[in-house]
Structure 1
Amino acid sequence: MKNNILIIDDDADLSFVISDMLEGYGYKVTAAETAEEAFGLLSVRSFDLILLDINLPDSTGFEICKELRRVSDVPVIFASARTSESDRITGFDIGGDDYLPKPYSMAELFSRIKALMRRAYGDADEKKVISFGNVKVDISARSVTKNGAPVALSLKEFDLLSQLCEHAGTAVSKETLLSEVWGAFSSVEPSTLAVHIRWLREKLEDKPASPKYIKTVYKVGYILEAEK
């Protein structure tokens, strides 16, 4: 389920109210009050949606969105007391997906988040099971079996496999995998990705040295050849 949300807003009280509301609906919410704090979180974690204020103590939401769009297409909702037409146009022009003027009701915010999540990720309740060879990956349940027996994967291994499964049959760039699994502003080296791919092959492929399913795409990244 895509349910990890990052709130970037210097109004701690408002962030608390929003977090309390969203967590009641099953979302996992993290809050940052400054751009520096936000970039620190984005360097080590991936988020499924960002609720972004414009006026921040050390930067602007516009600048954060510009930097974010260099490496990630995570959905962004601008939420700001700046409601001029020029601000809204700027928000959309630099990559924002929605613009919600303050003050707003929690009901409208929740509705906007659900709508954007649906557009970005489809039906979150849809059961997603990917099969390749004798392996089955249940993305919703975060479980993997090989020949019917459970396979133990680390958090990063499963997140990496999940990304490959989500794009089964399509080559996924190294940059995309690093951004989605390790965080948009992570300094993780590409060699770390290669090591995790090797570990996945060792656990899931019958012949890891000659992978049949988790394949390297020269000068691009990796592809999972699977039956959806």
Structure 2
Amino acid sequence: MPSILIVDDDADLSAIVARYLESEGFAVARAASAEDAYDVLAARAFDLVLLDINLPGDDGFAACAALRRASDVPVIFASARTSETDRIEGLDTGGDDYLPKPYSLRELRSHVNALLRRAKGRAGGAASAGRSAGPFTLDEGAGILAKEGVPVPLSPKELALAGYLMGHEGTAVSKERLLAEVWGAFSEVEPQTVSVHMSWLRAKLEDDPAHPAYFKTVRGKGYLFDAGGGGAA
């Protein structure tokens, strides 16, 4: 189930939008300010952020810029500020889309779905529900990762870590990026946490955890998923 964080100080509007998105199959959290959003994003990762500009404290532009320094999560600006200057600044600070208020809920859903499709395409799509990569099949909706057809019991973080690496097959991903995208963009968890979870993941998924064929370490760069299970990275 894709997760969305709504950052908007209009409590009534964000509640309406949240209820609609939940009815469409999304998991939704809300924050009334950028500062609240930082706390939420430190605790968990999201698939998309819906961000207003006029916020108490840091405005939406500052929040987006801060988020971009830590994460590639898709961002849709949703704002009553519709001037060309605002739209340009929103995109230049790292926004992926700009939706003027007022908007219809159906229009919002279309923008959300389109952006999530593009994000999945950039990630290679290998980790989407029911997709296979090498001997592994990941069903994110069911929370199951199977190896050669046999489900492997994984913790939620192990599953998310495996899914993120599978979705970026062939690309070395740094510990810092994994912390941001799996644990939360502003998480204060130590990078060593990634190493520990990788060790647990390999113990469950690799034939020889000491010499991993699929979930590899790339010296100086991070970790890489190799669907072919070739030699050392």
Pair 1:215-2:216 in alignment? yes
- Report 1:42-121 matches (<5 A): 42-121=41-120
1:171 alignment partner, SS class: coil
Distance in 2 between residues matched to 1:59 and 1:226, nearest whole Å: 42
Q: Which amino acid aligns with 2:51?
A: L
* Contact map agreement 2:46 2:73 (CA 8 A) in 1: yes
Which whole-Å deviations, capped at 9, do the CAs of 1:29-69 have from their partners, x for residues lacking one?
11100111100000011111111001111220000001011
1:147 positional shift? 5.3
Q: Which amino acid aligns with 2:137?
A: V
Structure 1: tracts of 5 or more residues without a match: none
- Report 1:124-139 matches (<5 A): 127-132=130-135, 136-139=136-139
Structure 2: tracts of 5 or more residues without a match: none
1:100 alignment partner, SS class: strand
Which whole-Å deviations, capped at 9, do the CAs of 1:133-167 have from their partners, x for residues lacking one?
xxx23243431234543311100001001111111
- Report 1:111-190 matches (<5 A): 111-122=110-121, 127-132=130-135, 136-140=136-140, 141-146=142-147, 148-190=149-191
1:172 alignment partner, SS class: coil
Length-normalised TM-score, structure 1: 0.92
Tell me whether 117-126 or 159-168 shows the greater mean CA deviation: 117-126
Distance in 1 between residues matched to 2:151 and 2:5, nearest whole Å: 32
Q: 1:144 to 1:108 in 2, by over 3 A?
A: closer
Distance in 1 between residues matched to 2:95 and 2:207, nearest whole Å: 44
Structure 1 match to 2:36: 37
Structure 2 match to 1:192: 193
* Contact map agreement 1:171 1:222 (CA 8 A) in 2: yes
RMSD: 1.9
Runs of 4+ deviating beyond 6 Å: 123-126
* Contact map agreement 1:34 1:57 (CA 8 A) in 2: yes
Distance in 2 between residues matched to 1:151 and 1:48, nearest whole Å: 24
Distance in 2 between residues matched to 1:216 and 1:154, nearest whole Å: 21
* Contact map agreement 2:47 2:74 (CA 8 A) in 1: yes
Q: Percent of aligned positions with the same letter in both sequences? A: 57
1:191 positional shift? 0.8
Distance in 2 between residues matched to 1:92 and 1:38, nearest whole Å: 19
Distance in 1 between residues matched to 2:224 and 2:91, nearest whole Å: 32
Q: What is the total number of aligned residue pairs between the two structures?
A: 224
Distance in 2 between residues matched to 1:92 and 1:15, nearest whole Å: 22
Length-normalised TM-score, structure 2: 0.90
